[in-house]
Structure 1
Amino acid sequence: MADLPPTPLLDTVSTPADLRKLDPKQLRQLADELRAETISAVGTTGGHLGSGLGVVELTAAIHYVFNTPDDRLIWDVGHQCYPHKILTGRRDRIRTLRQGGGLSGFTKRSESEYDPFGAAHSSTSISAALGFAIANKLAGKPGKAIAVIGDGAMSAGMAYEAMNNAEAAGNRLIVILNDNDMSIAPPVGGLSAYLARMVSSSPYLGFRSLAKKITRKLSRRVHNAAEKAEEFTRGWVTGGTLFEELGFYYVGPIDGHNLDHLIPVLENVRDSEQGPILVHVVTKKGKGYGPAEAAADKYHGVQKFDVITGAQAKAPPGPPAYQNVFADQLIKDAETDPTIVAITAAMPGGTGLDRFAKAYPDRTFDVGIAEQHAVTFAAGLAAQGMRPFCAIYSTFLQRAYDQVVHDVAIQNLPVRFAIDRAGLVGADGATHAGSFDVTYLATLPNFIVMAAADEAELVHMTHTAALHDDGPIAVRYPRGNGTGVALPETAERLAIGKGRIVREGKKVAILSLGTRLAEAVKAADALDARGLSTTVADLRFAKPLDEELIRKLMTTHEVVVTIEEAAVGGLGAHVLTFASDNGLIDAGLKLRTMRLPDVFQDQDKPEVQYAQAGLDADAVVETVLKALRHNDAGVVEGARA
């Protein structure tokens, strides 16, 4: 481990209660030490860096001014919460971030009383904070709710839905807009700080309240005119008219790295009877660490890195990443098809569409954190004759499920879904795992659902989706790099609903969907060594099923096992239904399904997660042997039934 930074003042702070004992003049030193500790910790573990560095001063100021945890602090998304974790009793474990058995990379209710609401998807903080605020109000309890939301998260409609309903919370709700990219209204030095402090001060708010009472007694017309004049003047000077229209009292913009500006404004807001209040804070991602300031995108999420040079640990050269395989094939298809367009929801790099955008900028659309809009936008494009590819992580597509059903599936529109991060995702844990997409898509009429076993299959499936015009079609693929198979020079159009036999056997058949295929082949090798001749099939499609192939294998093998990196209700459930409907189980078939367990799995290395889930080669072998030892033929679900 690299030498730890000297942190004499931070060493005296275990909880926010300790922080509040400090003299305000000491907070600058504390923030500097907190920033150094954050850099050192993430350099050791990897994780989200730039966003946390941008809120160091803000984190210290909030915990200094507000009475956390009684005042509820809710971080939107949560990838900026590492400094918060250091200040809230978890510093001794901060170098276990995102490791098996370690701290979560996001806020987590079970981890600390200072994490009142778990988050890892964006734009939920204001809704949750409103819930806390109203609950306290109804119960007559003290305590405020503070939501810290980034400007990127404000691109999602859910944030505005919450703000539109926030008035009932009154002064119990405070929203802090962390503006680190959009620069809605950049601070202008001392004048900006003075104005923010003035309009949040008790004298100003008291005078404003008195003036409202006087004008209200004069007449409704005078009162309304005076109120509009005051809001217009304040909005013209400081900005924030949009938030005022949504019912918030706007304060800002203020420099989020200047504690002399932050502390008095937050104190005014804390003590104000005005509300709800939105405080507009301008920060810089990666603040205080040169490499992160210079390349905020590259230092948003990092591997382990050298603190001195900023150089990130590089994985050894290997197969291409799945998202890049998808993007490169999409570029090839787009060369000959001008109707192909690509849509992403604020994840161009994560989905590979940054590559597509370089080739076809006019045919690439980043809609921000707005998956619902992305899906219906794609539906409109498809209805007008375009071939849209909607590239969204599996876990994020969940937020647009109604649009998938109502706007795409019911209308049978040929929207193509490229579902990244399918299956378990390692360090990001349960919040980002792509566990449910097979279940929630394959249950829909009109849908075609494919799963790539390796990068070569992804090439074929991307091409197949590009040519498919009869209803919606999806291809799912995992996070990370491919298996190392050679990529085809020319993509093939796959026959819809047809699988392939990878190896022939006679006694056991393993039906695989997705990248568990490699483990299925390993299991077949082990079973063959035991004298159990094993067939392995890559079904390719969860829907429609290759019924001809499945029927053949079920009627010629004693044991059939399905395996998938998806939750219950997916491939296994569909195969069970087919077998039951066609009387195949009654014939004495030993049918077992293997899928993700009915739990939310914590973060760890993917191979460890899959072993824990019972979806590796050893688990397949164990499942087959138990089935053969079972005296009564029938259906038993589960890897270790």
Structure 2
Amino acid sequence: MTDRKSKTPLLDTVAGPADLKRLTDGELSALAHELRSDVVEAVSRTGGHLGSSLGVVELTVGIHAVFDTPRDKVIWDVGHQCYPHKILTGRRHRMGTLRQKDGLSGFTKRSESDYDPFGAAHSSTSISAALGFTVGRDMGMPTGDAIAVIGDGSISAGMAYEALNNAGHEGRRLFVILNDNEMSIAPPTGAMSTYLSNLSRNSPFAPLHAIAEGMEQALPKPMRDGARRAREMVTGVESKGTFFEELGFDYIGPIDGHDMDQVLSVLRGARARATGPVLIHACTVKGKGYAPAEGSADKYHGVSKFDVETGEQSKGKSNAPAYTSVFGETLADLAARDPAIVAVTAAMPGGTGVNKMADR
């Protein structure tokens, strides 16, 4: 335990988000590095959703440093990216029980902590939940701001559309952070204009535009390419503004979601100035900071126990074939003989086995 503490001197002093308020911006940046290492170490012993959690380390530190949680409600969508959040909210000592019987849940869980205001293990529900909290706040309930952190895959779903529509119509103060890592569990599909390019200079956030101005050129190449693609895909007809602006949102971004200075500046500015719904577009890298995850095709979306040094996973051998594999192969064989057979997947063909039919 002594060796572990010596590697994370700042993190060892954090019992909860309130402790982040006393740290300087430089210390918060250093804390993020320690937190990332701690997540890798913890998941190496239990298995779990590693890549998604590594991608939101800086966002997690920034949110808890700037906002007043648990009075302010943070809703993680899908919820599998919440490991850094759990560590910072008093559950670090229990991370060894992650996803085990009577241990910590792999997702947010209301009965587990006051910092988990919404139990989420499915996608695209965060914005609706956040809007519900804002309505409660405006009706006099003892709650503060609501912050929904949603991925680029989740925001393309129907429930997210409906929530964006309602939030824009209501016009209530609300924060949506689009965690854009271009790496959902399966390639996103559809015609959704997800990413936006410009924050209106006439909005209450005009001073923040200077923070985001030129951000595209400052991003690492993969993220810069994503930002450029966002501009090409989403801006649409210039005179009509962007998709989110038409819905009534103020848009900030894209920002580098791994640059702590940018994250803190934008979150602080947004919190100080917001009067209605705000969308912050943060470009991130799934698996960030852990080479085996960054170099993996699925960015270590879900892993078993693994060796931290090599990244090699220790998966138990079994003579029995997996149900998903049997299902997928059988479906592909039947479909090869019957062209009327169609497969529908819940946005995860690999996890349901229908990828075998798609590949064939």
With normalisation by structure 1, the TM-score equals: 0.48
8 Å CA contact retained: 1:130, 1:166: yes
Superposition map of 1:406-485 within 5 A? none
Q: Distance in 2 between matches of 1:202 and 1:242?
A: 17
Superposition map of 1:164-563 within 5 A? 164-167=165-168, 170=171, 172-181=173-182, 204=207, 241-297=242-298, 299-359=300-360
Q: Distance in 2 between matches of 1:50 and 1:66?
A: 25
CA displacement at 1:291 relative to structure 2: 1.1
CA displacement at 1:334 relative to structure 2: 2.3
CA displacement at 1:331 relative to structure 2: 1.9
**1:80–1:25: structure 2 CA closer, same or farther, 3 Å change rule?**
same
Instruction: Provide Cα deviations, 1:506-548, integer angstroms capped at 9, x if missing partner.
Output: xxxxxxxxxxxxxxxxxxxxxxxxxxxxxxxxxxxxxxxxxxx
**1:80–1:309: structure 2 CA closer, same or farther, 3 Å change rule?**
same
Partner of 1:154: 155
8 Å CA contact retained: 1:86, 1:94: yes
**1:93–1:120: structure 2 CA closer, same or farther, 3 Å change rule?**
same
8 Å CA contact retained: 2:74, 2:116: yes
**1:71–1:196: structure 2 CA closer, same or farther, 3 Å change rule?**
same
Q: Distance in 1 between matches of 2:236 and 2:271?
A: 21
Partner of 1:79: 80
Superposition map of 1:567-582 within 5 A? none
Instruction: Provide Cα deviations, 1:259-309, integer angstroms capped at 9, x if missing partner.
Output: 111111111110114311111111111011111111252610110111110
Partner of 1:53: 54
From the two aligned structures, give the one with the greater strand fraction: 1
Partner of 1:15: 16
Equivalent pairs counted in the alignment come to: 324
8 Å CA contact retained: 2:204, 2:274: no
Q: Distance in 2 between matches of 1:240 and 1:108?
A: 38
CA displacement at 1:77 relative to structure 2: 1.6
Q: Distance in 1 between matches of 2:48 and 2:260?
A: 26
Q: Distance in 1 between matches of 2:110 and 2:98?
A: 16
Mark the runs of 5 or more structure 1 residues left unpaired by the alignment: 206-233, 360-641
8 Å CA contact retained: 1:303, 1:312: yes
Partner of 1:372: none
**1:329–1:149: structure 2 CA closer, same or farther, 3 Å change rule?**
same
**1:260–1:296: structure 2 CA closer, same or farther, 3 Å change rule?**
farther
> Residue 174 of structure 1 aligns to a residue in which SS?
strand
Instruction: Provide Cα deviations, 1:603-639, integer angstroms capped at 9, x if missing partner.
Output: xxxxxxxxxxxxxxxxxxxxxxxxxxxxxxxxxxxxx
Structure having greater relative contact order (Cα 8 Å, sep ≥ 6): 2
- What amino acid sits opposite 1:40 in the alignment? E
User: Which structure has the larger Rg over C-alpha atoms?
Assistant: 1
Q: Distance in 1 between matches of 2:64 and 2:357?
A: 43
Q: Distance in 2 between matches of 1:163 and 1:124?
A: 11
8 Å CA contact retained: 1:171, 1:273: no
- What amino acid sits opposite 2:310 in the alignment? T
8 Å CA contact retained: 2:255, 2:263: yes
Instruction: Provide Cα deviations, 1:573-630, integer angstroms capped at 9, x if missing partner.
Output: xxxxxxxxxxxxxxxxxxxxxxxxxxxxxxxxxxxxxxxxxxxxxxxxxxxxxxxxxx
Instruction: Provide Cα deviations, 1:81-132, integer angstroms capped at 9, x if missing partner.
Output: 0000000000010111001111111101111111011100111101110000
- What amino acid sits opposite 2:115 in the alignment? Y
Superposition map of 1:21-32 within 5 A? 21-32=22-33
Instruction: Provide Cα deviations, 1:176-210, integer angstroms capped at 9, x if missing partner.
Output: 111111797889xxxx9xx87988876648xxxxx
Q: Distance in 2 between matches of 1:4 and 1:272?
A: 40
Partner of 1:145: 146
**1:139–1:169: structure 2 CA closer, same or farther, 3 Å change rule?**
farther
> Residue 147 of structure 2 aligns to a residue in which SS?
strand
Partner of 2:131: 130
Partner of 1:107: 108
Instruction: Provide Cα deviations, 1:129-180, integer angstroms capped at 9, x if missing partner.
Output: 0000011011175611000011111121001101111136545311111111
Instruction: Provide Cα deviations, 1:446-493, integer angstroms capped at 9, x if missing partner.
Output: xxxxxxxxxxxxxxxxxxxxxxxxxxxxxxxxxxxxxxxxxxxxxxxx
Q: Distance in 2 between matches of 1:82 and 1:73?
A: 13
> Residue 319 of structure 2 aligns to a residue in which SS?
coil
- What amino acid sits opposite 1:279 in the alignment? I
> Residue 302 of structure 1 aligns to a residue in which SS?
coil
Mark the runs of 5 or more structure 2 residues left unpaired by the alignment: 209-234
CA displacement at 1:328 relative to structure 2: 1.0
> Residue 175 of structure 1 aligns to a residue in which SS?
strand
8 Å CA contact retained: 1:76, 1:122: yes
Partner of 2:222: none
Identity %: 62
Q: Distance in 2 between matches of 1:45 and 1:52?
A: 14
8 Å CA contact retained: 1:51, 1:300: yes
8 Å CA contact retained: 2:52, 2:80: yes
Partner of 1:547: none
Instruction: Provide Cα deviations, 1:434-456, integer angstroms capped at 9, x if missing partner.
Output: xxxxxxxxxxxxxxxxxxxxxxx
- What amino acid sits opposite 1:335 in the alignment? A
- What amino acid sits opposite 2:39 in the alignment? T
CA displacement at 1:313 relative to structure 2: 0.8
